[in-house]
Chains A and B, each alone.
Chain A
Amino acid sequence: MDTPQQTTVGKHNGHAHIQGWGADLDHENRPAYPKERTPPRLEGLHWHEPDQQAISQEVLHSNERPGLTPVFGTSVPPSGLSGMIRRSAFKYSENDMRHWLMLLLADRINMLEGLGDDLMHGHIPNIFAEMGWKSELKYNRAGAIKKVAIASAVVGLGYYLLKQRKQRY
């Protein structure tokens, strides 16, 4: 344990009870000062440019750069209808709102594709478990009951209105 660094400004020495107060007051002690610092203080750097990662699957890239980066992730390649939308989205730059809106649309469609994929593989997803409802019942039982009641009321009202409409015609 260290003692707080004493400074020349007396009015702030009332912080002696705060562990570590002023330890990085000096810019020399601030690791991110100045904002841009060259050369980097890195150990183990033994390349001028990283090797190019082998391309084993479709990887989309921003059209604000000439091609793929030397290193990239391979989490989930684009596929299906959402993949088609993603490919189209990457025809627009990050500067173009259509790029992002199309990606968000693709995400929502991808969610439906995921449900379809589950069912095609004979897996019925346990939506309540996936949404963590066990913890909701454990830690917020009253809130959970309230949410279920509201949802039931909304569904019930919708059903009633639909039934009324059908009877009218």
Chain B
Amino acid sequence: MLAMDYRGPYRIRVTQKPEPQIEHPNDAIVRVTRSCICGSDLHLYHGMVPDTRVGSTFGHEFVGIVEEVGPSVEKLKVGDHVLVPFNIFCGSCFFCQKELYGNCHNTNPEATAVGGIYGYSHTAGGYDGGQAEYVRVPMADIAPTVIPTNMDLDDAVLLTDVFPTGYQAAEMGEIKEGDTVVIFGAGPVGIMAAKSAWILGAGRVIVVDHIDYRLEFVRNFAQCEIVNFKDVRDMAIHIKKMTDWLGADVCIDAVGGEAMGDFMQTLTGAKMKLQAGAATALHWCINSVRKGGVVSIVGVYGPTFNAVPIGNAINKGLTLRMNQASVKRHLPRLIEHIQAGRIEPKQIITHRLPLEEVADAYHIFANKLDNCIKTVLIPPRAVH
């Protein structure tokens, strides 16, 4: 089968690889019909995630058709068109029993801090991902969700990560009616977080980025205020001026370790890799939120350490909330939101490329060329 093949930082290609096999009795093999490139894939692409082995296939956002099921699969049927949450989870461990599916303890032998994730290095379990024609899907009876017949596949594929992560970012902000919510990052997750903040009853939503076309997009898509940080001398002062000198009620880091905006953070975190990514957005969150406010983190950082003003967080009495999205628990409600017309996630898709052009797709997305917001890869066998 054709699959994306990681060769080292900034280098990927498509290669013929063996088709995946049933390896566990509750596995399924899924023929991929849509696969996205996620902002967090760029951390792998840039060599920031430890134990990213040459020959790996990335891709944790995908939908597809079930081609084969293992002997213990009872619920999922061959031919089902499913969306597959990016978390690989067992449903029965201590954490899954609390619906913390992103923290499953039974699917990742290589690290205890994170559960299994498709195509996200051996630090996240060593699973091949969905930027391929076929993918192995463990725990087939509980993880995949059959796509409703009236749902567009483009909306469905954005339910595997982007929309749930953006929604959970807002939900972890514990938004109360009328709250002012500042979201750092106008990428796909930040855009979804902005829309979700309204759904949760925010009174004011402000999105900060430095890419003009993305800011314009989020202003139109989520009807929010925007700030280009290139026009701002000091972010914390700017947000305080916008909020009667108090600070925002909720700040969301939807950027993670590849943040721009602070030379030293970018140099030591993103370029020299002396810390687990550039923590500029997180720094701004802590210093821009009001005392007693909430900082919600969904931006992805590496497993080592970051320089952040934790003393300020203590002195301000902040609540810090963070996690990988627990996709499965959000899905029923988020499907309702799409079906009710409250949100149309597929509007963020700007690029569609065949899987064969995966190297260009990554380059376009990573470098924000051609006004790219979200890229979908279509495998050659998607239509057969």
A residues apposed to B, CB below 8 Å: 1-2, 7, 9, 11-12, 15, 17-25, 29-33, 35-51, 53-54, 56, 59-62, 64-65, 67-76, 78, 82, 86, 90, 94, 97, 100, 103-104, 106-108, 110-111, 113-115, 125-127, 129-136, 139-140
Q: Which residue of B lies closest to A67 (CB)?
A: B109
Contact B329 A41 (CB under 8 A): yes
With an 8 A cutoff between CB atoms, is B87 at the interface? Answer: no
Q: List 22 A-B contacts (CB under 8 A).
A: A23-B340, A25-B201, A31-B171, A31-B329, A31-B330, A37-B329, A50-B90, A59-B110, A64-B112, A69-B116, A71-B106, A72-B108, A73-B116, A75-B122, A75-B127, A86-B51, A100-B304, A107-B53, A114-B7, A132-B359, A139-B369, A140-B369
- Among candidates A9, A44, A60, residue contacting B109 with C-beta atoms closer than 8 Å: A60
A32, B224: Cα distance in complex, Å: 24
A113, B123: Cα distance in complex, Å: 20
A72, B328: Cα distance in complex, Å: 20
Given contacts A9-B177, A131-B359, contact A72 B54 (CB under 8 A): no
Distance from B205 Cβ to chain A, minimum over Cβ atoms (Å) = 9
Contact B126 A42 (CB under 8 A): no
Distance from A98 Cβ to chain B, minimum over Cβ atoms (Å) = 11
Contact B199 A23 (CB under 8 A): yes
Contact B51 A131 (CB under 8 A): no
Q: Which residue of B lies closest to A118 (CB)?
A: B7
Question: Which one, B20-28, B255-263, B281-289, is touching chain A?
Answer: B20-28
With an 8 A cutoff between CB atoms, is B337 at the interface? Answer: yes
Q: Which residue of A lies closest to B359 (CB)?
A: A132
Question: Which one, B138-146, B151-159, B225-233, is touching chain A?
Answer: B138-146
Distance from A71 Cβ to chain B, minimum over Cβ atoms (Å) = 5
Contact B51 A140 (CB under 8 A): no
With an 8 A cutoff between CB atoms, is B56 at the interface? Answer: yes
A37, B160: Cα distance in complex, Å: 21
Distance from A117 Cβ to chain B, minimum over Cβ atoms (Å) = 8
A45, B97: Cα distance in complex, Å: 11
- Which residues in A have their C-beta under 8 angstroms from that of B223? 17-18
- Number of A-B residue pairs, CB cutoff 8 Å, is 269
Given contacts A51-B26, A76-B54, A106-B51, contact A46 B141 (CB under 8 A): yes
With an 8 A cutoff between CB atoms, is B131 at the interface? Answer: no
Which one of B13, B23, B75, B109 has the highest number of Cβ atoms from chain A below 10 Å of its Cβ? B109
Distance from A27 Cβ to chain B, minimum over Cβ atoms (Å) = 10
A40, B363: Cα distance in complex, Å: 40
- Which residues in A have their C-beta under 8 angstroms from that of B126? 59, 72-76
- Among candidates A22, A32, A65, A90, residue contacting B199 with C-beta atoms closer than 8 Å: A22
| In the complex, the 10 A-B pairs of residues with the closest C-beta atoms, listed nearest first | A132-B363, A20-B342, A111-B8, A73-B127, A73-B126, A25-B201, A103-B50, A44-B141, A114-B54, A61-B109
Contact B90 A70 (CB under 8 A): yes
B residues apposed to A, CB below 8 Å: 7-13, 23-26, 47, 50-57, 72, 74-76, 88, 90-92, 96-101, 105-113, 116, 122-123, 125-128, 138-139, 141-142, 168, 171-172, 177-178, 195, 198-201, 203, 223, 273, 302-304, 326, 328-330, 332-334, 337, 340-343, 359-364, 367, 369-370
Given contacts A75-B127, A107-B53, contact A37 B99 (CB under 8 A): yes
- Among candidates A43, A126, A135, residue contacting B75 with C-beta atoms closer than 8 Å: A43
Contact B360 A53 (CB under 8 A): no
- Which residues in B have their C-beta under 8 angstroms from that of A132? 359-364
Contact B177 A12 (CB under 8 A): yes
Contact B364 A139 (CB under 8 A): yes
Q: Which residue of B lies closest to A125 (CB)?
A: B7
- Which residues in A have their C-beta under 8 angstroms from that of B7? 111, 114-115, 125, 130
Distance from B321 Cβ to chain A, minimum over Cβ atoms (Å) = 8
- Which residues in B have their C-beta under 8 angstroms from that of A78? 53
- Among candidates B91, B97, B128, B200, residue contacting A25 with C-beta atoms closer than 8 Å: B200
- Which residues in B have their C-beta under 8 angstroms from that of A129? 13, 359
- Which residues in B have their C-beta under 8 angstroms from that of A133? 363
Contact B200 A30 (CB under 8 A): yes
Contact A110 B343 (CB under 8 A): no
Distance from B123 Cβ to chain A, minimum over Cβ atoms (Å) = 8
